[in-house]
Structure 1
Amino acid sequence: MRKTIILIVAVLSLQANAQSWNLTGNAGTSPSTNFIGTTDNQSLVFKINNSEKLRLTANGRLVFHETNTQGFTNNLYIGGGNEIPSNNAGGVNYGNVAVGLGSLVANSTGVSNTALGFNTLGSSTTGSLNTALGINSMQFSVTGNNNVAVGHNTLGGIISGEYNTAVGFSALRAWGSTASVPLVGNTALGTSALLRLTNGNYNTVLGFNGFLNTLTANNNISVGYSNAPNANNASGNIYIGNNIAPYNSQPSNELNIGNWIVGNNGTIGIGQFNSQLPADGIAQDGERYKLFVKDGIRTEKIKVDIASSNGWADYVFEKDYKLMSLNDLSQFINKNGHLPEVPSTKEAIENGIELKAMNILLLKKIEELTLHAIEQQKRIEVLEKKMK
């Protein structure tokens, strides 16, 4: 009888061991039939010290549970930010990837977000289609959509906004931004580029410290190291080069390429200018210009358009043209020291000369001189006849 009881216990023990996973492993398993898990629609829970640390949810999320001195719980996710059910067809909170303490912990209805790093997208509740890689990147974003942040603190302070791209330590950090003033369409590449922007759209800044302290800016382009670091209320500016400083603290429609090509509101300057070009292109002589050049121009060909037929000097040859007599011309020269209509040396130095106008004027004087020469030739011929 005793042997029979021992045999029954041994058989039952073998059967129990055959239906369990041993601490030292099992042999003879088949992947098609053997598995660790449940046979109902319930999550699989792993515990340490009788405290849940890992959960494989019924809808496929892998949720790591961790509590630290900062009080974060359920803060490391792979496959989604929390355990709100999803049907993957219009359901809430699906298609998210969150890896890092505090990443996507507040997500409620946001979809297709990727958060990698401590606190990334930590405050996002409804934001979707965001990618945040790096500690504290997009940390305070609540409703932002379609943003890309790569690097520590990138887009860290943005509350609301879309289509922003920030790459580099603290690029577009945006501390102090508000939900009522969303940032839209900005691109910041480089450490601290657009660091403090809190109000602005469609800026593109590439380079370390570009627009560093700017709070408000729209439609600016900057390429290079430390350009316009203290500009504010900036709009429509283009800076290409390094250490470019705007002419004004609140620049608008400026162009500066390497401090050699500058512009303002469509007026262009080539050369190093100590003062800003006039926005309306009106120079000291009262005339309007679109291009200012320092230190000269050398070229093989210049062609100037003439607006109309009466813009040329051939009207001098018309019969009703009143030609100044040589005596009157002599008196004018003796009194003024230059030809009529031609600017004096002082005027030329102060105001410069307009090439087209000067060429037409010189042609006019040549044609007047030609008329005088013809008249003198006629008189010579008359005198020669009288002398014969």
Structure 2
Amino acid sequence: MKRIFITTLLCMHTFTVLFAQNSLSPNLIRNSYMDILDGVVPAGFSVSGNLTLTAMHPYTKGFEGPYLPSAPAGAAATVDVATQQNPYWYGVYNKGPRVYRGGLADGWLNYPGGKILKITGDNTGASTMMYFPFERNVLTSKLRLRAWVKIVAGESVSFGTDAGLANIYWGGYTLLKATADAGPNGWYYIDQVINTSRTTSLTTNVFSMGLKGNNIEVYLALPYLSVLEDQTWLPSVADMLNRDGLFIHPLTQNIGIGTKDTKGYKLAVNGDAVFTKIKVKSFSAWPDYVFHPEYKLAPLNDVEAFIKKHRHLPEIPPAREVEQNGQDLGEMNSILLKKVEELTLYMIEMKKEIDSLKKITDQNK
């Protein structure tokens, strides 16, 4: 009985250790698919020194190939010359050893629109560092990095605190070109635990990528960074979004963009917004009733008197009320349509009066 109990404890301990080692936190690197761009640069990625960042199609340098049954016309002979227009074909419905069937371009259940990062430059600047867009509020001193790297030109790349600073400090992990070249098709998969300065906020120098060489050409794909420490702290996804201005109420699930006060509405936006299409469902009666024979059109004299007294049209809210309370788009569209329909009736009446006067004038000639 004692042996069974001890064996059970050992199994539970082994499971706990394995779970702790293999469980992964959310990616601390934002825009890791690099599908959000500022011009040609993946949004959030930046540099210090003489470096240039360019988002590239994942066919570039054979990171992945097309998902096709046969080689496309103009297929590249080697991965080193592969481009978006002339990709390297890995075989029948095979996108290569990194993604196989899925991927960042086409493929089986792929993630469409993703990019890889091209980094070029040299060490002529005071520092040679690339910075990632991070989830900043993290308490840790140990991070796990996973990423694909290809070094076409340059001596090495490094990752960690102050990596690339003053072209002297090279962080906690360094990948030499000779090592990277040994990876499949020259793509090396990094899976490293890297110690960093203990911090409560991941920022530029806390974890950077340093690049060494007089002529640098390096490619980076699918970077993933996670915390790997018992005594650590990581905010929830909702907290991450809240910090950046996308507020989700934990109980009502009301959403605020640029504001936490939704005033009870399901969505509140403090700032400008652009839509390709918007549909407002109106629950009030659509004002086609204006054209019914029973509808009583207010005399224009009454409308004139109302305008002189209130300085706005009947049924239209005054400016002060709109400034304080905003406006209901559905209701306002309904009121404006009603005014257009009333205006149409006034014009029809005026046309009849004009025609009648014209007829009388013609008879008196």
- TM-score for the superposition, normalised by structure 1: 0.36
Which has more radius of gyration? 1
- TM-score for the superposition, normalised by structure 2: 0.38
Q: Which has the higher helix share?
A: 2
Q: Which has the higher strand share?
A: 2
